């Protein structure tokens, strides 16, 4: 099969389901184009049945025995291993627990413990705020002797890695611009200076083929509810390279991270593996929804999804250019496929109004202050037709100035 080594047009290989078949597995609203899978992934059709079974059979009927007989107790690790396949991690290094924010807290504290002579958490300006907020909270808790957050422009990040830096924390795909960081290069720069690296994969898990183990990444976190389609509030995941397991010294030392939770011993002793990142009882209903959603990824390689994603974002950018839209909207996303994730961001001075007018026209996108309209493309269910509809609708919104409509003045809590 010599042709398999050639670049393809984003079609799955013959062993993989077609993109039509993959899209069919999702319950998408009629007559609308959903381009917000980077904020809340769509629901696979089979998820409600699985949750019904969990509620009526496992909870109502099997009751407490379900922790063993229905495998509830192992769900964080089982689901973690399934995500591990998508991010290039061998089993036993990924666990589904808590939120990204809480996982960052645990891993940053662990990183500082692993680098006792160093105190700096280095990150890039303009990264997702919660990552910095958590570092600030940790710095306040530990004191400035032990922990300091340092933020520099992305272009200066690698040069700023010095002997004080315990850990570099960075998102692989920037939530505002959609820019894709060079994971192998930044990881190597951190390691060359004796620093650890913590990657936030919130906007890349499930759409970018990465090899956490192959690159030698130390730690990572990511979202269950974005491109992994785990449902609103789905648990996040945390990756810890096996070389640090057994030294898992993190401060949220709850009973389910204990070596033997059901011994109920007086003092904490961490579990030997990634299980020590678990603090309390997992949210089984949410985890089951995430676990079920991951079935959609079973027969398809992430590299195939990445190719499809590149087709979608490239077609969109080409369409914007051809429609003359890049004169009025500023393209914030790199116009080079290798440097972008699965979203395209446009800045427009009436960005909020543009977003609302697009939603009114049936193209669901979202807004990030102060002026950014984000178009997220899920390779599992978005199509080239979706892309074309989005371009046509945006052209009409801009041409007819729908963004000035008085209906779009109000801004609700969640944008
Ligand atoms: C969405 C997102 C989060 C969300 O964090 P939670 O604590 O799970 O709400 C964190 N970091 C980045 C980069 C994100 O895009």
| Residue 253: CATH number of its domain | 3.40.640.10
Instruction: Write b or e for each residue in 29-49: b if 16 or more Cβ atoms lie within 10 A of its Cβ, otherwise e.
Output: eeeebbbbbbbbbbbbeebee
Asked if residue 191 and residue 249 are part of one domain, the reply reads: yes
Ligand 1 atom with the shortest distance to the CA of 39: 1
Dist. CA 223 → ligand 1 center (Å)? 6
Torsion of CA 281, 283, 285, 286, to 10 degrees: -150
Asked if residue 265 and residue 331 are part of one domain, the reply reads: no
Do the domain assignments include residue 7?
Answer: no
Do the domain assignments include residue 363?
Answer: yes
Is the model's pLDDT at 9 over the cut of 60?
A: no
Asked if residue 54 and residue 164 are part of one domain, the reply reads: yes
Instruction: Write b or e for each residue in 234-249: b if 16 or more Cβ atoms lie within 10 A of its Cβ, otherwise e.
Output: bbbbbbbbeebbeebe
Catalytic member of 226, 306, 308, 340: 226
Ligand 1 atom with the shortest distance to the CA of 236: 8
State how far the Cα of 139 lies from the Cα of 134, in Å rounded to an integer: 9
Is the model's pLDDT at 5 over the cut of 60?
A: no
State how far the Cα of 200 lies from the Cα of 131, in Å rounded to an integer: 9
Over residues 55-104, the pLDDT tens digits come to 999 999 999 999 999 999 999 999 999 999 999 999 999 999 999 999 99
Q: Is 20 left (phi over 0), alpha (psi -120 to 50) or beta?
A: alpha
Q: Whole-model pTM?
A: 0.95
C-beta neighbour count of 64 within 10 angstroms? 9
Asked if residue 328 and residue 270 are part of one domain, the reply reads: no
Nearest protein CA to atom 15 of ligand 1, as residue: 202
Asked if residue 117 and residue 105 are part of one domain, the reply reads: yes
- Taking the CA atoms of the chain, what radius of gyration do you get in angstroms? 22
Asked if residue 328 and residue 237 are part of one domain, the reply reads: no
Q: Check residue 43 and give its pLDDT.
A: 98
**Structural domain that includes position 239:** 47-297
Is the model's pLDDT at 35 over the cut of 70?
A: yes
Is the model's pLDDT at 13 over the cut of 80?
A: no
Asked if residue 352 and residue 290 are part of one domain, the reply reads: no
Best substitution site from 223, 226, 233, 341 to test ligand 1's pocket, by max atoms within 8 Å of Cβ? 223
Query: What average pLDDT score do residues 215-239 get?
Result: 98
Dist. CA 202 → ligand 1 center (Å)? 6
State how far the Cα of 197 lies from the Cα of 385, in Å rounded to an integer: 39
Is the model's pLDDT at 1 over the cut of 70?
A: no
CATH number of the domain where residue 311 is located: 3.90.1150.10
Asked if residue 203 and residue 121 are part of one domain, the reply reads: yes
Of 238, 266, 297, the residue that ends a domain is 297
How sure is the predictor about 304, in pLDDT bands with cuts at 50, 70 and 90? very high
Of 243, 270, 297, the residue that ends a domain is 297
Best substitution site from 107, 130, 173 to test ligand 1's pocket, by max atoms within 8 Å of Cβ? 130
Domain count, the chain: 2
Is the model's pLDDT at 8 over the cut of 50?
A: no
Catalytic member of 26, 225, 316, 375: 225
- Which H or E run includes 192? helix 183-192
Asked if residue 272 and residue 135 are part of one domain, the reply reads: yes
Query: What average pLDDT score do residues 313-333 get?
Result: 98
Asked if residue 170 and residue 54 are part of one domain, the reply reads: yes
Do the domain assignments include residue 415?
Answer: no
Asked if residue 331 and residue 281 are part of one domain, the reply reads: no
Among 401, 402, 387, residue whose Cα is nearest residue 357: 402
The verdict on the CB of residue 276 being under 6 Å from ligand 1 is no
Q: What is the mean pLDDT of the chain?
A: 95
Asked if residue 290 and residue 321 are part of one domain, the reply reads: no
Q: How far out from the chain centre does Cα 47 lie? A: 20
Is position 374 annotated as part of the catalytic site?
A: yes
Dist. CA 175 → ligand 1 center (Å)? 9
Of 263, 297, 331, the residue that ends a domain is 297
Catalytic member of 19, 34, 105, 128: 128
Is the model's pLDDT at 111 over the cut of 60?
A: yes
Over residues 258-295, the pLDDT tens digits come to 999 999 999 999 999 999 999 999 999 999 999 999 99
Do the domain assignments include residue 5?
Answer: no
Q: Kindly list the distances between the CA atom of residue 338 and the CA atoms of 12, 184, 224, 309, 316, in Å, as whole numbers in the listed order.
A: 20, 13, 24, 11, 15
Q: Check residue 11 and give its pLDDT.
A: 61
- Kindly tell me the sign of the dihedral angle through the C-alpha atoms of 90, 13, 207, 166: positive
Dist. CA 13 → ligand 1 center (Å)? 32
Q: Check residue 364 and give its pLDDT.
A: 98
The pLDDT > 70 percentage for the chain reads 97
Do the domain assignments include residue 4?
Answer: no
């Amino acid at each position: 099969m010599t042709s398999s080594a050639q670049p393809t047009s984003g079609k799955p290989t013959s062993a993989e389901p077609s993109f039509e078949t993959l899209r069919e597995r999702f319950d998408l609203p009629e007559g609308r184009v959903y381009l917000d899978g980077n904020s809340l992934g769509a629901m696979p059709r089979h998820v409600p049945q699985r949750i019904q079974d969990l509620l009526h059979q496992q909870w109502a009927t099997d009751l407490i025995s379900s922790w063993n007989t229905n495998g509830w107790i192992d769900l964080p690790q089982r689901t973690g291993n399934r995500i591990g396949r998508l991010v290039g991690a061998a089993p036993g290094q990924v666990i589904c627990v808590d939120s990204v924010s809480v996982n960052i807290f645990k891993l940053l504290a662990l990183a500082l413990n692993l680098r006792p002579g160093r105190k700096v958490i280095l990150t890039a300006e303009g990264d997702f705020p919660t990552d910095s907020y958590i570092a600030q909270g940790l710095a306040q808790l530990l004191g400035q002797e032990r922990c300091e957050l340092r933020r520099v422009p992305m272009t200066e990040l690698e040069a700023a890695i010095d002997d004080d830096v315990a850990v570099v924390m960075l998102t692989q795909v920037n939530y505002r611009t959609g820019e894709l960081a060079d994971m192998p290069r930044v990881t190597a720069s951190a390691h060359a200076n004796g620093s650890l690296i913590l990657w936030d994969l919130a906007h890349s898990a499930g759409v970018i083929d990465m090899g956490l183990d192959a690159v030698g990444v130390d730690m990572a976190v990511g979202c269950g509810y974005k491109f992994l389609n785990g449902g609103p509030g789905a648990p996040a995941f945390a990756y810890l390279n096996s070389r640090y397991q057994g030294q898992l010294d993190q401060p949220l030392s709850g009973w389910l991270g204990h070596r033997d939770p059901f011994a109920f011993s007086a003092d904490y002793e961490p579990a030997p593996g990634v299980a020590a990142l678990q603090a309390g009882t997992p949210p089984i209903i949410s985890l089951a929804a995430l676990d079920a959603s991951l079935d959609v990824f079973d027969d398809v390689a992430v590299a195939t999804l990445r190719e499809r994603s590149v087709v979608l974002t490239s077609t969109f950018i080409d369409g914007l250019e051809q429609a003359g839209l890049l004169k009025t909207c500023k393209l914030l996303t790199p116009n080079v496929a290798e440097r972008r994730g699965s979203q395209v961001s446009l800045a427009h001075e009436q960005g909020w109004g543009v977003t609302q007018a697009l939603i009114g026209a049936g193209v669901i996108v979202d807004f990030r202050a102060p002026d950014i309209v984000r178009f997220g493309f899920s390779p599992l269910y978005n199509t080239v037709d979706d892309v074309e509809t989005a371009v046509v609708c945006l052209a009409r919104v801009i041409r007819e100035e729908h963004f000035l409509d008085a209906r779009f003045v109000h801004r609700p809590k969640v944008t």
